[in-house]
Amino acid sequence: MRPSSARRRRIIGWGFEGESFPPSPQLVALLERRVGRGAPFPAADPASLQPPPPQRLPELPVTASAEPADRLAHARGQGLPDVLRMRTGSLPAWPDAVCRPADADEVEALLDACSREQVRVIPWGGGTSVTGGVNPAPGAGPVLTLDLAALSGLRAVDPVSRLATFGAGATGPEVEAALAEHGLTLGHFPQSWELSTVGGWVVTRSSGQESLGYGRIDDLVSGLEAVAPAGRLSLPAQPGSAAGPDLRRLLLGSEGRFGVVTSVTLRVRPRPAVTTVEAALMHTWADGLEAARDLVQGGARLTMTRLSDAAETEVAMAIGLADTFAAPLVRAYLRLRGLGPDSCLLLYGAAGEPVDADAELASARWVIGRHRGIHLGRRPGRHWLSDRFRHPYLRDALLDGGYLTDTLETAATWSGLDALRDGVTAAITGAAARASERAAVLCHVSHPYQDGASLYFTFFLTATGDLDRDVARWAEVKRAATAAIVAHRGTISHHHGVGRWHAPWLPAELGEDAVELLGAAARHLDPRGILNPGVLFDPTDQLEE
Amino acid sequence: MRPSSARRRRIIGWGFEGESFPPSPQLVALLERRVGRGAPFPAADPASLQPPPPQRLPELPVTASAEPADRLAHARGQGLPDVLRMRTGSLPAWPDAVCRPADADEVEALLDACSREQVRVIPWGGGTSVTGGVNPAPGAGPVLTLDLAALSGLRAVDPVSRLATFGAGATGPEVEAALAEHGLTLGHFPQSWELSTVGGWVVTRSSGQESLGYGRIDDLVSGLEAVAPAGRLSLPAQPGSAAGPDLRRLLLGSEGRFGVVTSVTLRVRPRPAVTTVEAALMHTWADGLEAARDLVQGGARLTMTRLSDAAETEVAMAIGLADTFAAPLVRAYLRLRGLGPDSCLLLYGAAGEPVDADAELASARWVIGRHRGIHLGRRPGRHWLSDRFRHPYLRDALLDGGYLTDTLETAATWSGLDALRDGVTAAITGAAARASERAAVLCHVSHPYQDGASLYFTFFLTATGDLDRDVARWAEVKRAATAAIVAHRGTISHHHGVGRWHAPWLPAELGEDAVELLGAAARHLDPRGILNPGVLFDPTDQLEE
């Protein structure tokens, strides 16, 4: 069982009760200047929310709860429209019950019964999908949400081979706490780390913020077990193989359509003594891009690099790095060094023994210096490390203050990144302009690879406070941004997944024949189509549902 | 088109005409001591080989050749029984014609026609399969072998993103020659490199000898195009994505069952100034294993490590490293350092600028020294580098001398390697002993990963010169070895693939449900089942066919 936590999960919005990340006055001023002043988005008292009566479920082999509190806690993921709908209690569909299987056999029994009775099943890890991946849709027959929290715990550890097997429901903190007892770490730190789970990481092809050092979850999975209505997959831990196609990779990214991942064997490594992040300021975005590429292609042993564009750099200063270098004296110094409003913040980190991390950072500084970077020391990096799991709380506070904010991400080859950033930025501001509004768009490059990197966008709009109108305005921006991504040969998702909301664009990226192949695999593993229908491959635009 | 080569491919046996690798007198003496003296295996004059009359093919949209020379050149792969059968002209089935499509459209037209007319199709790259992967089987309807040599050439290069797109038929030397003009390398050097092709590497999940530095082919594929009877897959080059399961990984290892790979975008990197391999002698296998693991888990930037067991170390000395350190004076020195008959040869290499490669090798030496390794300098490594593509020729020379030799490989986690090696070695010697024979078994660890490594076995038996008897004796050893591999949780192949010969054991490794999933994908992409039937997933034991 999941160890009891002192912190209680919030019903509406991100994270835990009592935690928050209010915007700094500088950020509020900046947003007002950039997009205007909005109307605070209403927020119902969670106690007043009442799901409608559930559809009746057939008898199931594992106790299912139709308690309103359970249905409420599993009603929606963490996308912006999810939060807007939860805040107004206006949901087009609810899970009719929640089930918490204790092991893979119970998952199997449940899938058998649900197949037979045509009950739709939504596998649920941390419920942090920002793509509609855990949302029920209106439709025929009841919806059962399968909360996998009980499939938890460290089940086996092999320190010689550096492998550890976890139940799929283990959350980020549970994974790291269990590994720490063995002096090990997984090093997988997505922004959702405090809430998201091993199984969720696998089925959405998650990428942690230190993926440069530790790899994507794709690289970290050595073996896994999954249960589908048509059978069980037990793919053993293997360092490398040519025994046919790697079916682990078919489960990775399957978003609940191919089966329920029940346990995963992960590649772990010794826990580093320190993780240190330094900062530099680059004269231009182009300089920063060259520096980031140079670092990764040159083989720098960093755990992360993150280059903010000028717009994001300004916001980074406004939300908390201000104390470091937005002070007038620092600004004057930077101006003296020739750094103007185009300057871009570059964070880069290393981990290990202090002496080794320092050596890696020193050689990174040297590379960055070749691209005219100005060293800013470690204070911004410490700040970023201490806040990195708090950022999602900002969205709720901004809604209270009258602003909608959301993020989206893509990836492309190095030679295509610049056009992709320009295209997506223009698409977002253009969509806003068509509605006679202004959008603020920030971007950073992170998750660098030998052949390219991801682009992560944050955008801000004013809120009107009207649910349908705000969801529609958000949806217009998403449509424009996703169309621009595919037009510029970016991927529709680097690490958020496809879910319901990106699904209509999957054929544009992979081709119709590839998407049909996914459908064929799903039909084989789940002949009655009960597993997470509407997710991953579905041509319907579900952004406003 | 493939650039014309001065060298002509041999019809029977490995490689090019005029090239050979005769065993040293020391090796012959060693084999005689270990397994006895065999009867030279007969070798027909290739000119005397005449395929039987072909089955009639329907009219096809691309010219098909039923010329005996073409059918002969595409009759079999390069497994030991393939060579035995070719040497005696005794094949249970032949391709009825050979087609050389010029582009993906011609491949598509051919697959359409073959689907309609129920013609079985064998995609052919370099024809170097050692698992029966390109062999026709007796059965209903004609067999067309699709030689992809014309789908060649460097089609695009993006030096900024370090990507290069090749036609699937490009061979190893063609790839490296084309990349050299751009100062780039792929760094993928399987032992078959001189003959094998990009498409073949992809569909068999090939691993080059320097996979530690450059990655497996799985890691090197960024995008690919494939044609199947049911459609085309065009998966763009992407550094990282969460847009559903990575379908590139479904084509990787598909061995021609899911479609014909027509072009591949590969991750390339700057050509190193030098590749340097050093050698050390370890007191024991256990010391060597610890050193190899320590090197890779410690993050040594090596391109390869290769640890031979004591038996292979003795043979390595006998086949050519003798001049380096088998001389009486050297042996006396080694004895003085406490190295006896259990000592194991460890090769390790690095690439880059000389100063960087030297630094990496120096730090590797330090790690190896901690495990009591004795430095042997660079001469054995130079020897290995210069001979590494010649080793396959040795088999033909040994057949002439009365010995059967074959190789097989697996991989497992570090903690399982020792038991796996013992189990497979015992299985091979046990199978020979049941037939009142002796087998010599050599093993090395190569392709190390964070969580494990591959084991590569070479075994020797005497030849009787009788085809059926020798194939049956070989098959008994393969069965025993593969059963031991799955019993010890190794993979049935680390880089040779599944083909016809390993297929019956795939369910033991992955489970029946996983193999059925592969079958479902094949049925979707190839509804009439024309593509390479009998390969990858087929429960029939085809070792003696």
Q: What pLDDT was estimated at residue A328?
A: 62
Strands (E), B200-312: 221-228, 231-235, 260-267, 269-270, 274-282, 304-308
Residue B330 near chain A (CB below 8 Å):
no
The stretch B391-398 carries a mean pLDDT of 95
Dihedral sign from CA coordinates of A93, A99, A103, A104: negative
Share of chain A above pLDDT 90, in %: 90
Residue B350 is which amino acid?
A
Q: Say yes or no for a CB contact (<8 Å) between B451 and A246.
A: no
Q: How confident is the model at residue A324 (pLDDT cuts 50, 70, 90)?
A: low
Residue B514 near chain A (CB below 8 Å):
yes
Chain A partners of B536 at a C-beta cutoff of 8 Å?
244
Task: Give the nearest partner residue to B222 out of A451, A495, A502, using CB atoms.
Answer: A451
pLDDT at B102 over 90: yes
Q: How confident is the model at residue B318 (pLDDT cuts 50, 70, 90)?
A: confident
pLDDT at B114 over 70: yes
From A357's Cα to the closest Cα of chain B, the distance in A is 14
Q: What pLDDT was estimated at residue B329?
A: 62
Residue B162 near chain A (CB below 8 Å):
yes
Q: Say yes or no for a CB contact (<8 Å) between B218 and A246.
A: yes
Q: Say yes or no for a CB contact (<8 Å) between A241 and B267.
A: no
Q: What pLDDT was estimated at residue B323?
A: 55
Which chain A residue has its CA at the smallest distance from B206's CA? Answer: A242
Q: Which residues, numbered 240 to 299 in chain A, qualify as contacts with chain B under a Cβ-Cβ cut-off of 8 Å?
A: 240-247, 249-255, 258, 267, 269, 293, 297, 299
Per-residue model confidence as pLDDT tens digits over B320-363: 664 555 556 666 767 777 777 889 999 999 999 999 999 999 99
Q: Which residues, numbered 377 to 416 in chain B, qualify as contacts with chain A under a Cβ-Cβ cut-off of 8 Å?
A: 411-416
Q: Say yes or no for a CB contact (<8 Å) between B233 and A514.
A: yes
pLDDT at B449 over 70: yes
CA angle B483, B422, B311 (to 5 degrees): 120
**Does the model's ipTM exceed the 0.85 cut?**
yes
Chain A partners of B492 at a C-beta cutoff of 8 Å?
243
Per-residue model confidence as pLDDT tens digits over A303-320: 999 999 999 998 887 766
Q: What pLDDT was estimated at residue B140?
A: 83
Q: Say yes or no for a CB contact (<8 Å) between A511 and B232.
A: yes
Task: Give the nearest partner residue to B242 out of A247, A253, A510, using CB atoms.
Answer: A253
Q: Say yes or no for a CB contact (<8 Å) between A506 and B233.
A: no
Q: What pLDDT was estimated at residue A77?
A: 98
Chain B partners of A299 at a C-beta cutoff of 8 Å?
301
User: Do residues B265 and B239 lie in contact, with contact meaning Cβ atoms separated by under 8 Å?
Assistant: no
| Residues near B480 by beta carbon (within 8 Å), at least 6 away in sequence | B427, B428, B430, B431
User: Do residues B172 and B194 lie in contact, with contact meaning Cβ atoms separated by under 8 Å?
Assistant: yes
From A522's Cα to the closest Cα of chain B, the distance in A is 10
Task: Give the nearest partner residue to A245 out of B231, B253, B513, using CB atoms.
Answer: B253
pLDDT at B40 over 80: yes
Q: Is A6 exposed, middle or buried (0-12, 13-18, 19+ CB in 10 A)?
A: exposed
Chain B partners of A351 at a C-beta cutoff of 8 Å?
none
Higher-confidence residue of A335 and B253: namely B253
Q: Say yes or no for a CB contact (<8 Å) between B494 and A207.
A: no
Strands lying side by side in the sheet with B452-462: B374-377, B274-282, B344-352, B304-308, B440-446, B452-462, B403-413
pLDDT at B319 over 80: no
Residue A153 is which amino acid?
G
Chain A partners of B447 at a C-beta cutoff of 8 Å?
240
Q: Say yes or no for a CB contact (<8 Å) between B415 and A158.
A: yes
The stretch B358-375 carries a mean pLDDT of 97
Residue B238 near chain A (CB below 8 Å):
yes
Q: How confident is the model at residue B3 (pLDDT cuts 50, 70, 90)?
A: very low
Q: Say yes or no for a CB contact (<8 Å) between A247 and B536.
A: no
Residue A226 is which amino acid?
A
Q: Say yes or no for a CB contact (<8 Å) between A494 and B454.
A: no
The pTM score is: 0.96
pLDDT at A140 over 90: no
Q: Is B280 exposed, middle or buried (0-12, 13-18, 19+ CB in 10 A)?
A: buried
Q: Is A147 in a helix, a strand, or coil?
A: strand
Per-residue model confidence as pLDDT tens digits over A499-545: 999 999 999 999 999 999 999 999 999 999 999 999 999 999 999 99
DSSP string, B360-400: HHHHHHHHHHHTTPEEEESHHHHHHHHHTTTTTHHHHHHHH
Q: What pLDDT was estimated at residue A418?
A: 95
Q: What pLDDT was estimated at residue A1?
A: 36
Q: How confident is the model at residue A364 (pLDDT cuts 50, 70, 90)?
A: very high
Q: What pLDDT was estimated at residue A326?
A: 52
Chain B partners of A493 at a C-beta cutoff of 8 Å?
241-243
Higher-confidence residue of A340 and B86: namely B86
pLDDT at A334 over 90: no
Q: What is the Cα–Cα distance from B124 to B197, expressed in whole angstroms?
A: 9
Q: Say yes or no for a CB contact (<8 Å) between A521 and B525.
A: no
Q: How confident is the model at residue B101 (pLDDT cuts 50, 70, 90)?
A: very high
Q: Is B16 exposed, middle or buried (0-12, 13-18, 19+ CB in 10 A)?
A: middle
Least confident interval from A46-60, A229-243, A291-305, A531-545: A46-60
The chain-wide mean pLDDT, for chain B, equals: 95
Per-residue model confidence as pLDDT tens digits over A380-394: 999 999 999 999 999
Domains of chain A: 51-150 (3.30.43.10), 154-239+247-270 (3.30.465.10), 274-387 (3.30.70.3450)
**Backbone region of residue B480 per phi and psi (left: phi > 0; alpha: psi in -120 to 50; beta: other values):** alpha
Q: Which residues, numbered 427 to 456 in chain B, qualify as contacts with chain A under a Cβ-Cβ cut-off of 8 Å?
A: 447, 449-454
User: Do residues B35 and B439 lie in contact, with contact meaning Cβ atoms separated by under 8 Å?
Assistant: yes
Q: What is the Cα–Cα distance from A75 to A98, expressed in whole angstroms?
A: 10
Task: Give the nearest partner residue to A513 out of B163, B231, B495, using CB atoms.
Answer: B231
